[in-house]
Structure formats: structure tokens, C-alpha cells
């Protein structure tokens, strides 16, 4: 049985869809947070709609950290696609930092965090064609 290009493409699409849930990553780009130590860093959830559309992107979120270590005034500074903005803001809002000790001064500098939403490449083995 000979395979035509359309069958191969369909086979590849089915295989990609079957493992698509495992084929996404969201990474927080390392940055200098100054003297504030993160206690709990939440990574955004890759939006299902973006994953199905095979969209990748990057979002930079800036925010303040109060004396208790909670984030406030969370805002998107840069974004390559709006679909990634809400999960990024929610992740920053849910993250916490080490509270300041008595006598420590609160820095007035905003903290920024960049999240990269990437699709992992998937390798698919296509069966060899058998000669008739």
C-alpha cells in the first residue's frame, strides 16, 4: 500500500494532537529580583486555545511586592500575544515573596518577570513505504 503526502500529513497531525498536552512549556526567564527572595513562584498555565492554535509568545509582567511579600499593582509591560496576558498576571498575583524583617526598608523599585510560552518540538516516526 502506497502512502500519499496527504495521508502522511494527517498521520502527523493525529500524532501531534495525541501528545499535545505534553508538548508545551512555560518558563520564567531568570531576572534580578534585587533583595526580595521568592517563597512561592507560580508558573502560568499554557492557554488551551493557544496550544490548539500552535501559538507561542512572551509576556513581561511588572509588579510591586509589599512588606508581607504579596504582589500588587500587577500590569503587563510587553506582550507578543494577548492570549498569554491573563495567565501571566494570575501567576504573578498568586506568587509570594519573603516578608521583610522588622527594620528592613521597602524598596520602591518595581519587579518585572518575563514568561515564555513555548511549544516543544515533537518528533514523529513515519513508517517506511513498503514496495509492492
Residues 37, 95 contacting (CB under 8 angstroms): no
Distance of CA 28 to the CA centre of its chain: 7
| Residue of 87, 76, 82, 86 whose CA lies nearest to 110 | 76
Q: Which three cell numbers stand for residue 53?
A: 492554535
Query: Which domain does 61 fall in, by range?
Result: 24-119
Q: Would you say residue 13 lies in a domain?
A: no
- Phi, psi (deg, nearest 5) at residue 44: -60, 155
Element (H, E) at 9: helix 5-18
Q: Would you say residue 131 lies in a domain?
A: no
Domain count across the chain = 1
Rounded-to-integer distance, Cα 66 and Cα 73, Å: 10
Q: Is the pLDDT of residue 27 over 90?
A: no
Percent of the chain with pLDDT over 90: 47
Q: Is the pLDDT of residue 128 over 70?
A: yes
Q: Would you say residue 3 lies in a domain?
A: no
pLDDT in tens, 87-98: 999 999 999 998
Per-residue pLDDT, averaged over 29-48, amounts to: 78
Please give the pLDDT value at position 20.
Answer: 44
Amino acid at each position: 500500500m502506497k502512502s500519499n503526502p496527504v495521508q502522511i500529513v494527517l498521520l502527523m497531525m493525529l500524532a501531534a494532537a495525541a501528545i499535545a498536552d505534553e508538548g508545551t512549556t512555560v518558563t520564567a526567564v531568570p531576572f534580578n529580583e534585587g533583595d526580595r527572595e521568592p517563597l512561592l513562584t507560580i508558573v502560568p498555565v499554557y492557554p488551551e486555545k493557544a496550544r490548539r492554535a500552535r501559538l507561542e509568545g512572551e509576556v513581561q509582567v511588572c509588579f510591586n511586592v509589599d512588606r508581607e511579600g504579596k504582589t500588587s499593582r500587577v500590569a503587563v509591560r510587553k506582550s507578543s500575544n494577548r492570549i498569554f496576558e491573563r495567565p501571566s498576571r494570575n501567576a504573578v498575583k498568586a506568587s509570594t515573596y519573603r516578608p521583610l524583617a522588622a527594620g528592613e526598608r521597602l524598596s520602591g523599585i518595581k519587579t518585572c518577570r518575563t514568561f515564555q510560552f513555548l511549544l516543544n518540538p515533537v518528533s514523529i516516526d513515519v513508517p517506511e513505504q513498503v514496495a509492492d
